[in-house]
Amino acid sequence: MESSKSIVILGCGYVGAAMAEQALARGMHVIALTRNADKAAGLRAKGVQCVVEADLGSDDWHTQIEPRQDYVFNCVSSGGGGLDGYRKSYVAGQQSLLRWAAKGNIGTVIYTGATSVYSQSDGEIVDEDSTSGDLSPSGEILLEAEKVLSEGAAAAKIARWFVLRLGGIYGPGRHYLLDKLRAGETAFPGSGDFYVNMIHRDDIVSAAFALFQSPEVIKDRIYNLVDGDYPSKSEMVEWLADRLSVGKPHFDPSQSMNREGRRRNTEGKLPNRRVSTERIRSELNWKPTYPSFRDGYEEILAGS
């Protein structure tokens, strides 16, 4: 039964904290790793049985978490510091996970990567078998982290692994575009013509549990995880503006977001593609609770 299972959550930010709450609600034994003392205190207050304060990229936590667990959910985020921070969190973190796992017996490992491993820029549909092409520096690091897991899992005696390539994450308490509009801003950097691939936080958690509970014959797979709706960024922002009854926003290509430099490939292009979710829908019979940004934001707006 699920209530007898244990789960280790590596990185307890926005997604990891939601995973911890859902696992506790299911009666599971929850172990959490975070480098943030405030988040650690919050997790303990919510009833997480074991909270370890450490950096995933180090080996300091290995003796504090028994390497015999049913599930491991690696949803670590970058610790800052530019590309060096990316590499430490994702690549070094994955390598540390494998060294720890090799000391014991681990069932299922899920790593939350990102759809930024796709560099296509002409609006085409991409799936898990699409070539990566000319990636941005951050995309290269995220793809390397996937390979560390896929190529090292067998030697680490991990029973099975999965990668969830996440789209843009949003949900309660995390809605950047909505916040900007509420603050009265009408100018948005970049172009509004680009496709947006979104995923609600709660759908990430539900997909992860679908993988944990899947038949053992399903293993060692990469899945895209987005809602499957492909609005343009301008369509999304204009819909939000209309719901808030504020002035119509516009986009200014002369402005640039700080993270755009990390997202551009070596030719200076930003990714612009529609990410397919056919694989996870067909193989796991999974579908999102929030099949479009409208569904997710309607609930957010209703609760605000």
Tell whether the model's pLDDT for residue 176 goes beyond 80: yes
User: Each residue of 227-267: pLDDT tens digit?
Assistant: 999 999 999 999 999 999 998 899 988 776 544 444 555 45
Contacts of 103 (CB under 8 A, 6+ apart): 62, 67
Q: What pLDDT was estimated at residue 259?
A: 45
- pTM to 2 decimals? 0.94
Three-state DSSP class for 279?
helix
- pLDDT, residue 133, reads 74
pLDDT higher at 93 or 3? 93
**Could you give the percent of the chain with pLDDT greater than 70?**
95
pLDDT recorded at residue 270: 81
Which ranges constitute the DSSP H helices of the chain?
14-25, 37-45, 82-86, 93-101, 137-152, 176-182, 201-212, 233-244, 260-263, 278-284, 293-302
pLDDT at 117 over 90: yes
Is the pLDDT score of 141 beyond 60? yes
Residue 101 has pLDDT above 60, yes or no: yes
The residue with greater pLDDT, 133 or 148, is 148
Walk me through the domains of the chain, giving residue ranges and CATH numbers: 2-171+199-229+274-290 (3.40.50.720)
Q: Say what the pLDDT of residue 134 is.
A: 83
Cα–Cα dist 153/176, whole Å: 36
Has residue 53 got a pLDDT over 50? yes
**What is the model's pLDDT at position 283?**
97
Q: Distance between alpha carbon 21 and the CA centroid of its chain, in Å?
A: 17
Q: For residues 176, 16, 76 and 230, what is the CA-based torsion angle, rounded to 10 degrees?
A: -50
pLDDT for 79: 76
In which order are the strands placed within the sheet that holds 50-53?
A: 50-53, 29-34, 6-10, 68-74, 105-114, 158-166, 221-225
> pLDDT value at position 260?
47
What pLDDT score does 132 carry?
74
How far is residue 133's CA from residue 16's CA, in Å, rounded to a whole number? 30
pLDDT at 97: 98
* Averaged pLDDT, 64-88: 93
The mean per-residue pLDDT over the stretch 147-167 comes to: 98
pLDDT tens for each residue of 185-235: 989 988 899 999 999 999 999 999 999 999 999 999 999 999 999 999 999
State the chain's mean pLDDT as an integer. 93
